[in-house]
Amino acid sequence: MLYYIFRWLDQFGISGSHLWGYISFRSILAMILALIISAWFGERFIKYLKKKQITEVQRDAQIDPFGVKKIGVPSMGGIIIIVALLIPVVLLGRLRNIYLLLMIITTVWLGFLGGMDDFIKIFRHDKEGLKGKYKIIGQVTIGLIVGLVLWASPDVKANLNLEVANQNGKEIVIKHEAKAEKTLKTTIPFIKNHNLDYSEIMSFCGKYKTAAGWILFVIMTIFVVTAVSNGANLNDGMDGMCAGNSAIIGVALGILAYVSSHIEYAAYLNIMYIPGSEELVVFFMAFIGALIGFLWYNAYPAQVFMGDTGSLTIGGIIAVGAIIIHKELLLPILCGIFFMESLSVIMQVYYFKIGKRRGIKQRMFKRTPIHDSFRTQDDQLDPECKYLIKTPHNPVHESKITIRFWIVTIILAALTIITLKIR
């Protein structure tokens, strides 16, 4: 909104109005504004939640051996993140940009979905919340919308990266195709000079391989959005855990969006150039600011929980942002913590079912998601159950677990960016 006003004023030579044409200026301003809104609005919203008794009622106190009481802590704090994110984006972003519009739609859609889940848990006193099938339907639907828009929109194009030998034939120079076009290619980590082409995977469809490739891309979009949003939801189990990890991931995605929107940086890293993706930098800087501001209240001991309103939204934002810049195959590295949390739950359930068929009560980990296993004492375990992995035997305080998970995410974020040069 303000972008268009100041760009219009720039025509009349108004001092300072030209700054709004710089993505760096708008991005930094978006982060600062989101941080301020999150901190200012957060304090008042927490008081409102306490007044209306919109508080946590389902936490199992037995999980924490250190006796930290979480009953009565306000929930649905994800609204703070959403408000602090959307206001700077609407004010500072180019709202005609298709990528920015997709991110806004994703935020509102998954925020509503997560909000319904929290509403049922808190106001209807149903600890299960929104039924799983409805969550999946909501996640699949937004994934389908994003995939179809990226398929159909004429504004979604990219300049493919090409390797060209220089005149002496000894050095390879990276250039981009002169004309931007729709593409089904995406970046593969660790593989030099190669992009994965979804249409080539579907080459067995013959002349219909391009159409089949787009169908595969849409399916992939649905899968990624669902997987990452559920992973973020599972990661939201300790004070500051999900917010901190997501802020770090947001930094990495902001960097990737910036280099993808800059033709010289894209050539240096041998990745495709995506015109218009610079608006994602504004979005992710606001995303980082909103999460850091939320951490002011969510860090141990938490004054507010984000709930599914926040965690589902965060996961969807990360997934859709990566898909737009053709970096979805980097997510298993970048979101390794989310992947580990989801995998631990899957392995736990599968291992338990195997034992049940044999008449044996068994579990792989002490608790899942995996972060809960680190704070569980041995005397809290079921004596009738066999545990494959019982370490650590001494519980770790959740604040230390959270910091260690942040450190792992920082390493994974750095590795994700490094993969672009070691391919």
Query: Is the pLDDT assigned to residue 314 strictly greater than 80?
Result: yes
In a domain, 54, yes or no: yes
Q: Residue 52's pLDDT band (boundaries 50, 70, 90)?
A: confident
In a domain, 170, yes or no: no
Phi-psi region of 126 (alpha: psi -120 to 50; beta: other; left: phi over 0): beta
> What value does the mean pLDDT take over residues 295-323?
95
147 Cα distance to chain centroid: 17
Domain region containing 115:
25-158+201-344+399-418
The span from the CA of 173 to the CA of 272, in Å, is 14
The span from the CA of 272 to the CA of 263, in Å, is 8
Asked if 115 and 122 touch (Cβ cutoff 8 Å), the reply is no
Q: For residues 379 and 355, which has the higher predicted lDDT (pLDDT)?
A: 355
In a domain, 225, yes or no: yes
> What value does the mean pLDDT take over residues 341-357?
95
Give the pairing of strands 185-187 and 172-176. Answer: unpaired
Q: Which residues contact 205 (CB under 8 A, 6 or more apart)?
A: 211, 212
pLDDT at 368: 92
The span from the CA of 276 to the CA of 152, in Å, is 16
Asked if 203 and 189 touch (Cβ cutoff 8 Å), the reply is no
Mean pLDDT check: name the lowest of 44-53, 156-165, 341-350. Answer: 156-165
364 Cα distance to chain centroid: 28
Q: For residues 71 and 365, which has the higher predicted lDDT (pLDDT)?
A: 365
Query: Is the pLDDT assigned to residue 170 strictly greater than 60?
Result: no
Q: pLDDT tens digit string along 138-158?
A: 999 999 999 999 999 999 999
Q: What predicted TM-score, i.e. pTM, was given to this entire model?
A: 0.93
In a domain, 218, yes or no: yes
Percent of the chain residues topping a pLDDT of 70 = 93
> What value does the mean pLDDT take over residues 32-50?
94
pLDDT at 83: 97
In a domain, 360, yes or no: no
Task: Judge residue 170's burial from the number of C-beta atoms within 10 Å of its C-beta, 0-12 exposed, 13-18 middle, 19 or more buried.
Answer: exposed
pLDDT at 357: 92
Query: Is the pLDDT assigned to residue 163 strictly greater than 90?
Result: no
pLDDT at 62: 59
Please compute, for residue 140, the number of CA atoms within 13 A of its CA located in the half-sphere on the CB side: 7
Q: pLDDT tens digit string along 320-336?
A: 999 999 999 999 999 99
Residue 23 DSSP class: H
Query: Is the pLDDT assigned to residue 7 strictly greater than 80?
Result: no
Angle (CA) 99-105-111 rounded to 5° is 135
Q: Token pair 């993140």 is at which residue?
A: 81
Q: What's the structural domain count of the chain?
A: 1
Angle (CA) 412-141-294 rounded to 5° is 45
The span from the CA of 200 to the CA of 213, in Å, is 7
Asked if 235 and 242 touch (Cβ cutoff 8 Å), the reply is yes
In a domain, 392, yes or no: no
> What value does the mean pLDDT take over residues 89-106?
95
The span from the CA of 321 to the CA of 337, in Å, is 18
> What value does the mean pLDDT take over residues 38-44?
94
In a domain, 121, yes or no: yes
Q: Three-state SS for 82? A: helix
Instruction: Find the helix or strand (DSSP H, E) in which 222 lies.
Output: helix 209-235
353 Cα distance to chain centroid: 31
Q: For residues 329 and 132, which has the higher predicted lDDT (pLDDT)?
A: 329
> What value does the mean pLDDT take over residues 107-121?
94
pLDDT at 122: 86
Percent of the chain residues topping a pLDDT of 90 = 67
Q: pLDDT tens digit string along 224-244?
A: 999 999 999 999 989 999 999
Q: Three-state SS for 163? A: strand
Among 259-268, 334-343, 384-393, the range of highest mean pLDDT: 334-343
In a domain, 181, yes or no: no
Query: Is the pLDDT assigned to residue 37 strictly greater than 60?
Result: yes
The span from the CA of 17 to the CA of 303, in Å, is 40
Task: Judge residue 166's burial from the number of C-beta atoms within 10 Å of its C-beta, 0-12 exposed, 13-18 middle, 19 or more buried.
Answer: exposed
Provide the residue type at 328 as one letter.
Answer: E
